[in-house]
């Protein structure tokens, strides 16, 4: 993916977040009833004891990108370009991951794992008391994979054993997280990684842009891919309904 695309995406998303509050208010929502949503603090604000210190722009990007007139003008062209690039990248990654499991390169893509996507641009302003909260609390990703573009700033940590390790940013590097669904579909061959983002002690804001990939049909049953189950390696996970899983996750 060209460096200039990465740079333009970061610049445009930062430009959106640094607009006056009254400009962003038109798409502010506490619930995600629309395809383009801006929310401040935490999406888990009501059930949580404390809010995470960040703002987020979320855009539904697949299977069809949200109507371009609904995307904020300040980042509209860059969002459309980023969506095209990450759709192609997702197909390449699914092919590599399929081959890594000993399957046909098209297996995960045939299971529509590239089709349903959402884009989140997290903005982490300076937090006056960073020891009292998080930028993003500890979690694993729900989907198949997540592609993350980060500005050259710290804060992301990955859990290894009982220790939290800093994920040092590098120019031009994208992070690919394995999600819970791929852990299940791969019968445990791939593991979803627990990670978090520390609150920003300042003074320069941080920004990241993530694309989450999901199977297309919420009525589908998800479980280990049959070719990966054998008497020597029985199914490590039961079948479950994708829609119910996602609903329960985002409700809690």
Tokens of 26: 């038109």
Contact partners, residue 160, CB within 8 Å, separation at least 6: none
What is d(CA 242, CA 249) in angstroms, rounded to the nearest whole number?
A: 11
End-to-end CA separation in angstroms for the chain: 35
Cut 0.75: pTM above it: yes
Q: Which is nearest to 62 in space by CA: 184, 144, 172?
A: 144
Can you list the residues of the chain whose pLDDT is less than 50? 42-46
The edge-to-edge listing of strands for the beta sheet with 134-139 is 134-139, 195-198, 156-160, 163-166
Supply the CATH number for residue 167's domain.
2.60.120.330
Tokens of 233: 């390696």
For residue 46, the model assigns a pLDDT of 44
Asked, as a colleague might, if the bond just before 63 is cis with ω within 30 of 0, I would say: yes
For residue 32, the model assigns a pLDDT of 62
What is d(CA 161, CA 1) in angstroms, rounded to the nearest whole number?
A: 32
Contact partners, residue 158, CB within 8 Å, separation at least 6: 164, 165, 167, 193, 194, 195
Contact 130, 199 (CB under 8 A): yes
* Domain limits for position 209: 3-251
Contact 37, 58 (CB under 8 A): yes
pLDDT digits (tens, 9 = 90+) for 105-140: 999 999 999 999 999 999 999 999 999 999 999 999
Tokens of 41: 């603090």
Q: Which is nearest to 178 in space by CA: 143, 211, 134, 207?
A: 143
Q: Which is nearest to 188 in space by CA: 143, 150, 237?
A: 237
Tokens of 145: 């994979």
Number of structural domains (the chain) is 1
Contact partners, residue 88, CB within 8 Å, separation at least 6: none
Contact 14, 123 (CB under 8 A): yes
Q: Which is nearest to 80 in space by CA: 70, 69, 68, 88?
A: 68
For residue 63, the model assigns a pLDDT of 93
């Amino acid at each position: 993916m060209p460096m200039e695309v990465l740079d333009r995406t970061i610049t445009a998303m930062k430009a959106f977040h640094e607009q006056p509050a009254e400009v962003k208010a038109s798409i502010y929502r506490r619930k995600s009833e629309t395809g383009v949503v801006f929310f401040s603090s935490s999406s888990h604000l009501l059930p949580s004891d404390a809010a995470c210190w960040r703002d987020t722009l979320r855009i539904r990007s697949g299977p069809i990108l949200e109507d371009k007139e609904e995307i904020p003008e300040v980042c509209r062209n860059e969002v459309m370009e980023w969506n095209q690039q990450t759709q192609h990248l997702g197909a390449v990654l699914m092919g590599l991951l399929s081959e890594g499991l000993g399957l046909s390169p098209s297996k995960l893509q045939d299971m529509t794992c590239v089709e349903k996507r959402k884009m989140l641009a997290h903005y982490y302003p300076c937090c006056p008391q960073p020891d009292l909260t998080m930028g993003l609390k500890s979690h694993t990703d729900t989907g198949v994979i997540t592609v993350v573009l980060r500005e050259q700033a710290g804060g992301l940590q990955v859990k290894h054993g009982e220790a939290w390790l800093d994920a040092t940013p590098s120019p031009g590097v994208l992070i690919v997280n394995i999600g819970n669904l791929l852990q299940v579909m791969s019968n445990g061959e791939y593991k979803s990684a627990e990670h978090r983002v520390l609150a920003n002690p300042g003074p320069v804001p941080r920004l990241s842009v993530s694309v989450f990939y999901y199977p297309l049909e919420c009525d589908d049953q998800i479980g280990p891919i049959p070719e990966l189950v054998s008497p020597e390696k029985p199914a490590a996970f039961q079948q479950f309904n994708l829609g119910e899983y996602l609903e329960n996750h985002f409700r809690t």
